[in-house]
């Protein structure tokens, strides 16, 4: 039981809370599911990049999937060993590639022919061999929200099968490239097993055909994407997920890698916000809270559902329909529309659930609102893992450039 009220009183609102015991449980569930094989779970840092969250996973043995050199450095700073870090992403600057090579991370995941050429040039300059994987786009519909679908040719990610094969041959013949991995990721918040299995089978076949060309793939990276329950979604069990993937790999001696973000963190996180006041415009009721879309943008951006709970109200209290909105100057600044809540008072506490993934990381300073504090709860104890941003923090990068 997390003491929401006491923690809101102690740390003030708006606030992110993360249940570190739950983070560990999720990691262990997934790791156990793959126990029949060598596996490396590379936590997708973009979901929640707080250093303490990354360190928590590192302590459990996880690696990290990063999409910028900034994320790579975060992972290293938090104690993830370089040989467990992979660097993905559809566009990488030369400097980022170079730094990744210097830091000798496990794999650079390449998403196009042009990128492969840039990696080769950088590696040659450093007189190194770049360990790479190639992201294959298997053209599979993951049956998820179009904004987070990535495995179709119409999406910008990866290369098609024929191009992948050609790039592997090119890499094998290069002195500066070492093609040891293969990668796919078809989308996020996946709740159907079949598309993953289909994609895995297609990519496994490619690995077999590469073997006949003497190209030996050691790391089979199935990306992230495992869905979680925001509302009443039916979920893929980690065991079934692992079995579906393993069933496509007969005869292949590969280490399985996966890159979960949401599955590991989403339901460990809570966003706490207090009611400022209520108002009605005509018949329309609004509950105005102190958190806004700059703190948690998923409802505004994807129309995403996040369960909202009011603390300290009796279950049988009379409710009426309302929108829960923030103070930001946008009509899109809402956490929920047309939900039923009891009448609220100034300072009532609302808990927004499933806020551990893509919430704090997607926050901004819009409207010069400081990023909120983050707190870890573990074994009944709480600790600050990011302090609240101050006004001074927000102007720090500009104030020295003011002209008369």
- Contacting range for ligand LLP; rule: CB under 6 A; set: 26-34, 116-124, 208-216, 256-264: 256-264
* β-bridge partners, 228: none
Could you give the angle at the alpha carbon of 262 between the alpha carbons of 257 and 264, nearest 5°?
65
Q: Token match 């707190």: residue?
A: 375
- Contact track, ligand LLP, 81-120, x by CB under 6 A: -------x--------------------------------
Cβ burial of 378 (10 Å; 0-12, 13-18, 19+) is middle
Dist CA 325 CA 288 (whole Å): 5
Q: Write down the least CB distance from residue 46 to ligand LLP, Å.
A: 6
Contact 144, 155 (CB under 8 A): no
Dist CA 84 CA 86 (whole Å): 7
Q: Write down the least CB distance from residue 216 to ligand LLP, Å.
A: 23
Q: Is 329 a catalytic residue?
A: yes
Q: Are strands 284-289 and 319-325 parallel, antiparallel or unpaired?
A: parallel
Alpha helices in 216-284 (DSSP H): 238-246, 262-265
Dist CA 266 CA 269 (whole Å): 6
Residue of the chain from 17, 44, 78, 204 that contacts ligand LLP (CB under 6 A): 44
For ligand LLP (CB under 6 A), the number of binding residues is 21
Which lies closer to ligand LLP via its Cβ, residue 21 or residue 361? 361
Q: Write down the least CB distance from residue 266 to ligand LLP, Å.
A: 8
Q: Write down the least CB distance from residue 161 to ligand LLP, Å.
A: 18
Choose the catalytic residue: 42, 258, 329, 359. 329
Residue of the chain from 358, 369, 372, 374 that contacts ligand LLP (CB under 6 A): 358
Considering only residues 169 to 228 of the shown chain, the ones binding ligand LLP according to CB under 6 A are 185, 188-189, 223-226
The residue among 228, 298, 268, 230 whose CA lies nearest residue 376 is: 268
Q: Token match 């290293």: residue?
A: 76
Residue of the chain from 31, 84, 262, 371 that contacts ligand LLP (CB under 6 A): 262
Which lies closer to ligand LLP via its Cβ, residue 19 or residue 259? 259
Which lies closer to ligand LLP via its Cβ, residue 259 or residue 290? 259
Q: Token match 């990023």: residue?
A: 371
Q: Write down the least CB distance from residue 257 to ligand LLP, Å.
A: 10
148 binds ligand LLP (CB under 6 A): yes
Q: What DSSP character marks residue 323?
A: E
Cis peptide bond upstream of 14, omega within 30: yes
List, by residue number, the catalytic residues.
Answer: 329
* Binding residues for ligand LLP (CB under 6 A): 44, 47, 65, 88, 148, 150, 185, 188-189, 223-226, 259-263, 298, 357-358
């Amino acid at each position: 039981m997390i003491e929401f009220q006491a923690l809101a009183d102690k740390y003030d609102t708006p606030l992110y809370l993360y249940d570190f015991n739950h983070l560990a449980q999720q990691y262990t569930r997934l790791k156990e599911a793959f126990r029949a094989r060598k596996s490396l779970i590379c936590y997708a840092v973009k979901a929640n990049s707080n250093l303490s969250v990354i360190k928590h996973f590192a302590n459990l043995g996880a690696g990290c999937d990063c999409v910028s050199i900034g994320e790579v450095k975060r992972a290293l700073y938090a104690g993830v060993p370089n040989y467990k870090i992979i660097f993905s992403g559809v566009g990488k600057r030369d400097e980022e590639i170079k730094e990744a090579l210097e830091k000798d991370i496990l794999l650079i995941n390449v998403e196009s022919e042009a990128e492969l050429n840039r990696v080769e040039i950088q590696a040659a300059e450093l007189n190194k061999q770049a360990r790479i994987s190639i992201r294959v786009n298997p053209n599979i519909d993951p049956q998820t929200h179009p904004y987070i679908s990535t495995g179709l040719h119409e999406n910008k990610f990866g290369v098609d099968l024929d191009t992948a094969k050609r790039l592997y041959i090119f890499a094998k013949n290069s002195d500066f490239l070492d093609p040891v991995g293969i990668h796919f990721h078809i989308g996020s918040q996946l709740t159907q097993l079949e598309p993953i299995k289909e994609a895995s089978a297609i990519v496994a076949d490619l690995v077999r055909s590469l073997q006949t060309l003497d190209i030996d793939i050691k790391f089979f990276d199935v990306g992230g994407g495992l869905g979680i329950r925001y509302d009443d979604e039916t979920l893929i069990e980690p065991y079934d997920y692992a079995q579906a993937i393993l069933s496509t790999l007969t005869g292949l001696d590969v280490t399985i890698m996966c890159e979960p973000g949401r599955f590991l963190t989403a339901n460990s996180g809570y966003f706490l916000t207090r009611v400022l006041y209520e108002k009605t415009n005509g018949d329309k009721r609004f509950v105005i809270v102190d958190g806004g879309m700059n703190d948690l943008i998923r409802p505004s951006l994807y129309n995403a559902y996040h369960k909202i709970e009011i603390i300290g109200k009796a279950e049988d209290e009379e409710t009426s329909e309302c929108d829960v909105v923030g103070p930001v100057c946008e009509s899109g600044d809402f956490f929920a529309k047309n939900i039923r809540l009891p009448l609220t008072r100034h300072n009532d506490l609302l808990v927004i659930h499933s806020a551990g993934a893509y919430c704090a990381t997607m926050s901004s300073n819009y409207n010069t609102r400081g990023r909120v504090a983050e707190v870890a709860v573990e074994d009944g104890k709480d600790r600050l893992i990011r302090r609240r941003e101050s006004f001074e923090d927000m102007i720090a990068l500009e104030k020295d450039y003011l002209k008369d």
